[in-house]
Chain A
Amino acid sequence: MNASSDVLVIGAGVIGAATAYFAAQQGLTVTVLDKGLPASGTSSACEGNILVSDKELGPELELTRYSLAVWHGDLSEHKKLWEFESKGGIIVASRESSLASLHRVMTVQTGYGVAVEELDRDALREAEPHISPEALGGASYREDCQVQPMLVAAHLVRLATEAGVRFLAETPVTGFLRSGDRVTGVRTPRGDFAAGAVVNCTGTWAGELAALAGVNVPVLPRRGFVMVTEPLPPMVHHKVYAAEYIDNVGSSDAGLQGSPVVESTPGGNILIGSTRERVGFDRSVSTSALRLLARNATALFPFLEDVKAIRHYHGFRPYCPDHLPVIGHDDRAPGLWHAAGHEGAGIGLSAGTGKLLAQAIGGQSPDLDLSPFAPARFGSPADPTPAHHEEATA
């Protein structure tokens, strides 16, 4: 048996890293285990957008706004480490109907305190000179920002380690230690680890881990492709995406969907992301996904037609059927906590998730009510999620 700790975090993706970091800040003793290296899961196969603009009203928007405050507050001293950039987002509408929906969304968002500003045809062109002539207008979100996600996870693990957290790479959790109902630790090939609180931060693997503890946490993979171009001089100045994107985010449709978020990176490469499709963990390259990204991106920025793609990659977003993450204590297995299923927003939401969870584990009442994210909402294992969620893996 290894030395026991107050908190044992399974998974060193961005969520586990943030949880460990804030738990250590609370003065708790923490151990982090990952089956691979830090940021070897979805956190290294995604983009680093922190978007307010695409969030549905309700708990997710609140968690986003809380997280933004943490990025700018508790974590502001580390901004440089992970290339934090407040570049702002622009949603572009190219059809009268989508322009109308965009205006409706803006009105509602403004009511909830989101900083959004309308861009007419000319203002849009001033902000993005290379936008398609078809674009009718848009909305500008100055709170939208970005980080380099792999660096976030890796540096949070490093900072946590420097604050005394024990981190073990290449240590897969294979089972749980129990005392009656209670989860009291984990089993690994490197021996057992006891802990007061065990936190499941395993992203798309969270369902598997939960099953090992006999509880149902239906986290499923939703594949996304991202395309990277050759480096160019600055041509795209914000995160630019089409109005249809908002509809895709909350969709449960298994089919291929995509609306490009086009943006340039500090290196000059343009990132074009990303598709959304539910095909299980299929890693084969999808020509239809690549075509869709290319078509959507050139529709927004026609100059991209002649630009070379040098790479593409894909990752699997961890999502729950109700499109809300699972964050909090699992009353069905006392001692077990979850922070997973953040879908296409886990990077942005990591800061808030980690801080809130650390507060809850430390026995404080969290700054934001976590009950909408409660794991027990999925019922007991005898009452599995509706079967139609399985067909997505077909």
Chain B
Amino acid sequence: MSPGKVGSIMKADVAVVGAGPAGLAAAVAAAEAGALVAVVDAGAQPGGQFWRHRPETVVPEPDGSGHHGWRSYVDLRARFDAARRRGQIIYLPGLQVWMPEKNDAGFTLHTTPAVARARSEDAATNDPAGSGAGNGPAGSGTVVARRLVLCPGGYDRQLPVPGWELPGVMAAGGIQAFLKGNGTLPGRRFVVAGTGPFLLPVAAGIAEAGGQVLAVLESSSPAAWLPHLRAAAGVPEKALEGAEYAAVFARHRIPYRTRSIVTEILGQDRASGVRTAKVDADGRVRPGTEGVYDDVDVVGFGWGFTPQMELPVALGADTRLDADGSLVGIVDERQESSIPGLFLAGEVTGVGGASLAVIEGLTAGAAAARERAADKADASRATRHRRFAEAMHHAHPVPAAWQEWLTPDTTVCRCEEVTASQITEARDTLGARDSRSLKSFTRAGMGWCQGRVCGFAAGCLAAGQRVSASAQSLSDAAKRPLGAPVSIGELASLETDS
């Protein structure tokens, strides 16, 4: 069996999808428990979203500047590389799982080369284990394993706003990924807006890299944390992180405006400014508070996160709505889902940050390898982190009145150019009250991104004013039987049992 060849089949005890905080931890824990582990990750090198860094071929020894929890990464990475040298981890970067299957043998993962793979990031053929490159040349292939740990992470949740289809409008995480992956910024003058503590590292990162942050607009207010201070105090390192960001903000004089939103992106062919306003606790615009920022290159939005649920949903794992309105997988204390042998860790069990993702990954990996009970200390740390996350979700909700910010011709689905009025009309006259019928009637979510960007917003619009999308509606939206685009040629040469 030669790993990594086109059309090859790789066998392992445990397969891990994702090499971010959760996936790295799961792989390491499973390997250290004695399992043979295969790690499939769309990225070109380990780290995932949070610990994304410059190509190791360019910067062989990243120092972790601009990163949090880098010590944790360095530790996990050393253990990961050691396990690879022992032959216990087979690392398959640059591959996306487009379809998972459950069968008698356990799980089968069908993979395809990741779509947006920068050339410079391509894994070299004969790199020794220990570099960021993988085991052999990347090509489509199949991984078969008795147990599966899914750690596919999430991405920034987006809400439509007039003008957001203009170039220059990015996901906040997209700016950060650009910076972490290239070491440069996608512009000079930035506005960062949305809600939640994740806006802070993005803005701080921009400023530290020499960009100018004209403002951070936070729709919520610090007072929203007051009922949740106990939960927040349970995770003191978060307060510490917060203090560090505050220092960065002060040093670079970044204005942090609460109860504020972007109401419109200005610009002809690309974003050149934003209109802003103050909002009340529900998110309704307060008349007379409008303002404008001119000469803006990039606007970054983040309204919390959307866990990447297609793989768990495709395998039939039970799901629920989390406190932030996201669809997440249900797991037990060992991170096992409703499907025996399928473990979930990281954002797909609830958005909770990188530290929680690591703890969950360690638990899931160990459990997948040898079915031991969860570590008590890990369990109580996880509980504290989850309480903190829940407090955060309550303090930084998607504003109830966000639908009122839209004009009738605001684009909601950017791929298919579907407007807000087309959606509300389909809802009101054709009875499109869930994301599935909305998609059928308006094409919202039918384009290249398959509703990954607009799915949440479209689901809420279908449900009606001030209502959030139901678990059923979000789960229908997450039903993407192709987890990633795959060429017809690859499908034509699929190995099947019949």
Contacts and interface: CB of A to CB of B under 8 A. Distances in A.
A284 B315 CA distance: 9
A231 B437 contact: no
A37 B481 contact: no
Nearest to B486: A309
Given A39-B437, A44-B437, A291 B488 contact: no
Contact of B450 (A37, A256, A306, A311): A311
Nearest to B494: A291
Interface string B435-455: 011001101001110100000
B456 to A, nearest CB: 19
A308 B494 contact: no
A288 B496 CA distance: 6
Nearest to B485: A308
A310 B112 CA distance: 13
B416 interface: yes
A169 B446 CA distance: 24
Interface string A357-393: 0000000000000000000000000000000000000
A291 B496 CA distance: 8
Interface stretch (B86-94, B203-211, B424-432): B424-432
A269 B440 CA distance: 15
Contacts of B115: 308
27 contacts: A37-B431, A39-B440, A158-B431, A167-B431, A230-B485, A267-B443, A267-B447, A272-B488, A285-B99, A287-B99, A287-B495, A291-B491, A291-B494, A291-B496, A293-B491, A294-B492, A297-B488, A304-B488, A305-B489, A307-B487, A308-B485, A308-B486, A308-B487, A309-B485, A310-B482, A311-B450, A312-B482
Given A231-B447, A311-B481, A155 B440 contact: no
B481 A306 contact: no
A287 B99 CA distance: 10
Contacts of A284: 101
B498 interface: yes
Given A40-B436, A154-B431, A291-B491, 8 more contacts: A37-B432, A256-B498, A267-B443, A297-B488, A298-B492, A306-B489, A310-B485, A311-B450
B107 to A, nearest CB: 13
A151 interface: yes
Given A39-B437, A310-B482, A311-B482, A305 B448 contact: no
Interface in A271-311: 272, 284-285, 287-288, 290-291, 293-295, 297-298, 304-311
A38 B488 contact: no
A5 interface: no
Contact of B488 (A39, A155, A294): A294
Nearest to A295: B492
A307 B481 CA distance: 17
B480 interface: yes
A130 B444 CA distance: 30
B336 interface: no
Interface string B284-321: 00000000000000000000000000000010000000
B298 to A, nearest CB: 27
Contact of A298 (B426, B488, B496): B488
A225 B427 CA distance: 28
B433 interface: yes
Nearest to B98: A309
B434 interface: yes
Interface in A117-175: 150-151, 154-155, 157-158, 167, 169
A313 interface: yes
Contacts of A37: 431-434, 437
A154 B491 contact: no
A287 B481 contact: no
A107 to B, nearest CB: 34
A287 B488 contact: no
B489 A298 contact: yes
A162 B314 CA distance: 39
A285 B481 contact: yes
